[in-house]
């Protein structure tokens, strides 16, 4: 039995996968984003957003019902966080600060059922994937989309080894990467590290992905060779659009307050 994973289908076809970042625990916003044409995945941010485990099931099902893949970003690589997120019906998982190959091996074990991993059996609420119970478990190991975030110089140094583990996506967190490297965002050193991660992922047949804040950044990253790109966040879209309209209304330039601004 196959699961219904739009993001997996898009990536397997070699197509570009544009996505969005959900930080607010709103099914209305999640559904509106997910049913937007050409959006294949929506990241449910349980690390930095206002989302917690009580929101995961409803958000995952809303996104899936509107035609996109819900991908949950957990706060850390702890096994229980991974288990409850996948059991809520996520089409995939994103784990932040995957700073070494050893950490990534642990993530793979936590996301896979035996004999590959140690994930416990309990798919009672995975209907967002199109399957429950044994049918879900038979397909989950190979069809769920498992992403790890590369955000630290140690991960860059070990990227070749990381890409040989059983993950699907190498996802660059460019802001944390710049901070942890101690360099300016967008500097030559920063872009060199990003290019190294991209090239290594492609060499090993992994999906290269990256976080962006706007369409201009996203278009540049797609052109660079990234296959999976987050275009913007819900909160940035709201504040940017509102300040634009406000500026027109009052005849004065108004700047949007942004959380991602280095």
Catalytic residues: 48
Cβ–Cβ under 8 Å, residues 155 and 162: yes
- The secondary element (H helix, E strand) that includes residue 72 is strand 69-73
In contact, 42 and 34? CB cutoff 8 Å: yes
Output the CA torsion sign for 215, 217, 219, 225.
Answer: negative
Give the ranges where 90-158 is alpha helix by DSSP (H): 101-111, 133-143, 153-157
Please give the C-alpha separations between residue 225 and each of 16, 71, 92, 145, 199, in angstroms, as whole numbers: 9, 22, 22, 19, 9
Output the six-digit token pair for 227: 């296959």
Which of the 8 DSSP states describes residue 255?
P
CA gap 38, 6 in Å, rounded: 11
């Amino acid at each position: 039995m196959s699961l219904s994973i739009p993001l997996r289908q898009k990536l397997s076809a070699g197509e570009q996968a544009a996505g969005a970042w959900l930080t607010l625990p709103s099914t209305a916003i999640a559904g509106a984003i997910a049913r937007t044409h050409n959006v294949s995945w929506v990241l449910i941010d349980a690390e930095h957003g206002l989302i917690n485990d009580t929101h995961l099931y409803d958000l995952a099902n809303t996104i899936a019902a509107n035609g996109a893949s819900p991908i949950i970003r957990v706060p850390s690589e702890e096994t229980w966080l991974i288990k409850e997120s996948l059991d809520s019906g996520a089409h995939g998982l994103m784990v932040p600060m995957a700073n070494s190959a050893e950490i990534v091996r642990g993530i793979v074990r936590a996301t896979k059922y035996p004999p590959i991993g140690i994930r416990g059996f309990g798919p009672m609420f995975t209907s967002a994937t199109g399957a429950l119970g044994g049918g879900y478990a038979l397909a989950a190991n190979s069809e769920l989309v498992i992403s790890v975030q590369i955000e630290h110089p140690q991960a860059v140094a070990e990227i070749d080894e990381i890409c040989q583990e059983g993950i699907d996506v190498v996802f660059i967190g460019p802001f944390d990467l710049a901070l942890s490297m101690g360099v300016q965002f967008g500097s030559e050193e920063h872009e060199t590290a990003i290019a190294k991660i991209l090239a290594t992922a492609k060499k090993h047949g992994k999906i290269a992905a990256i976080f962006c804040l706007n369409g201009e950044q996203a278009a540049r990253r797609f052109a660079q060779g990234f296959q999976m790109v987050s275009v913007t966040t819900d909160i940035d879209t709201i504040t940017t659009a509102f300040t634009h309209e406000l500026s027109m209304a009052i005849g004065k330039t108004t700047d949007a307050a942004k959380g991602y601004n280095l």
